[in-house]
Amino acid sequence: IWWLDPELTYGNAKPFVFTQGHSVCNRSFFPCFDTPAVKCTYSATVKAPAGVQVLMSATQSTYLEDEGVYQFYMEYPVPAYLVALVAGDLIHADIGPRSRVWAEPCLLPTAISKLSGMVERWLTAAESLYGPYIWGRYDIVFLPPSFPIVAMENPCLTFIISSILESDEFLIIDVIHEVAHSWFGNAVTNATWEEMWLSEGLATYAQRRITTETYGAAFTCLETAFRLDALHRQMKLLGEDNPVSKLQVKLEPGVNPSNLMNLFTYEKGYCFVYYLSQLCGDPRHFDSFLRAYIEKYKFTSVVAQDLLDSFLNFFPELKEQCVESKAGLEFERWLNATGPPLAEPDLSQGSSLTRPVETLFKLWTTEPLDSVAAASSVDLTKWRTFQTVLFLDRLLDGSPLPHEVIKKLSECYSSQLDSMNAEIRIRWLQIVVRNDYYPDLYKVRRFLENQMSRMYTIPLYEDLCTGTLKSFALEIFYQTQNQLHPNLRKTIQQILSQGLNPLPAIDTTAGTTDTPAVVLEDKVSEATNGAISLRDVNVSA
């Protein structure tokens, strides 16, 4: 349960509270069987002060104004982690026949402009693929930057971090991913956290089928290429033999299942589901199977064998061909082998969008650097966001770059990138930090002074502390710490203290004594151990 003072909201007007149950956190919210194997309906009564709007992930709600009491009822069985509550200075607007958006008053116009009419389009596309939407309403609530992940698929009420509103393409993908969870994850749920890919891999596959239907194959292939790049980046960090790269990962006693959330859950799971769809010869045949799978198992929890048995029974000709035992692509190997996916999708339909990225990257990384004129003629403002982040991610992978290259990159693109969204800007600033490019460091300071979100602060602090700029990071942190949620503040303190003796208390109050100074603790959390940047592991629930 996250309690926020008004200063940690956008409006600075009223306190705010929200819950985040995934994976096993709702045991601190209410007594429950905190496992996805157990589903039940629920009802709740919530008393709140006047002027505080309360919402829950429920199909029915009433408000008794005289008593200040909200009553909620979820009529369909759900696992404990999908029970969610949010309360604060929230107002709403309808954006479709069965959807409304909730946000703080200062954010609502932006949310409306980004999503009006869009959610119904995505829901309709999903229904055409996987059958009726069974939850009634599909509402969205935008949460303050303290929300610890990007999005959460709470039924009837998707939670999304407000910070993503400025990044249109990421917003589209994140909402569509949560829409897909309405079928894969919420209606049919993985029975154990060791098989999280049953929710995430299938939801990612469904998300890409929906984007193909609504935005075309080229856009879907571009987004997939961007995510698979991230998967291979994570694999280099973790090592191909790391057991967390298995789809059926072993959950040791005492380990928080959330620690197993990684891109393998999403992208390796997606690749396996895509491989199954290719065995059918036509993705529409696989859509028909998934509709039957949802109808058979909705409101229950399943294991991988349930999915695979259903698949082979639905396609008896594939069962006769023993596709589950095909050499090198055995289903068992997909589930239990470490390392990369055994097969990856053909993304050639996205070449019109990915080829310009590859061409520009080669111009900047091929020696001698005599193609600057050609490279500088590329106008990144005309590119899609996913093209630009794919290009910047590849430059990040190659950092540190020769000084002449980073200097020319800044001259060509820095002013263009300044006007772009945070998903793009953070990547450019990481390139600045990893290359110790001092002329643009002031932009890093300015960015961190205006960011309160975990996903836009942690990666930069990690990079700053890995290199020679830790004192610069400390200075910024001492100036901005009061605008950060205590949980985020603690994580940054742990990053700053890596490799240091316990730091003395530093008076950051410029001579005043009524505010206690911060002492950094000499310990490293699981979240920062191993120097795996959250930028490399950025996932939605």
Q: How far apart are CA 109 and CA 113, in angstroms?
A: 6
Q: Cβ of 521: how many Cβ atoms within 10 Å?
A: 14
**DSSP at 330:** -
Token couple for 305: 């064998």
Amino acid at 72: F
Q: Which of 261, 302, 55 is nearest to 155 (CA)?
A: 55
Strand 139-143 and strand 99-103: the pairing is parallel
Report whether 200 belongs to an annotated binding site. Answer: yes
Q: Is 227 strand, coil or helix?
A: helix
The alpha carbon of 462 is separated from its chain's Cα centroid by a whole number of angstroms, namely 19
The residue from 104, 153, 178, 462 that is catalytic is 178
Handedness of CA 61, 140, 203, 339 (dihedral sign): negative
Q: If DSSP codes are grouped into helix, strand and coil, which group holds residue 96?
A: strand
**Helix or strand or coil: residue 93?**
strand
Secondary structure (3-state) at 130: helix
- DSSP assignment of 425-482 equals HHHHHHHHHHTT-GGGHHHHHHHHHT---HHHHHHHHHHHHHTT-HHHHHHHHHHHGG
Residues 6+ apart with CB under 8 A from 317: none
Q: Answer yes or no: 178 catalytic.
A: yes
| Catalytic residue check, 266 | yes
Torsion of CA 249, 250, 255, 256, to 10 degrees: 40
Distance CA 20, CA 24 (A): 9
Strand partners, 45: 71
Tokens of 260: 């197993």
Which whole-number Å values give the CA distances from 69 to 50, 60, 139, in the listed order?
A: 10, 14, 21
Give Cβ neighbours of residue 255 (< 8 Å, ≥ 6 apart): none
Establish whether 177 is an annotated binding residue. Answer: yes
Contact 299, 79 (CB under 8 A): no
E-strand ranges in 120-279 read 139-143, 151-152, 157-161, 188-190
Q: Please name the amino acid found at residue 95.
A: I
Inter-axis angle of helices 217-238 and 197-215, to 10 degrees? 150
How far from the centroid of its chain's Cα atoms is residue 484's Cα?
A: 20
Q: Taken in order 432, 438, 439, 440, is the CA torsion positive or negative? A: positive
The burial of 16, by beta-carbon neighbours within 10 Å (0-12 exposed, 13-18 middle, 19 or more buried), is given as buried
Report the distance separating Cα 18 and Cα 86, nearest Å: 4
Q: Which of 42, 266, 275, 413 is catalytic?
A: 266
Asked if 141 and 153 count as a contact pair (C-beta separation under 8 A), the reply is no
Instruction: Please list the active-site residues.
Output: 178, 266
Binding site residue list for Zn(2+): 177, 181, 200
Binding site residue list: 177, 181, 200
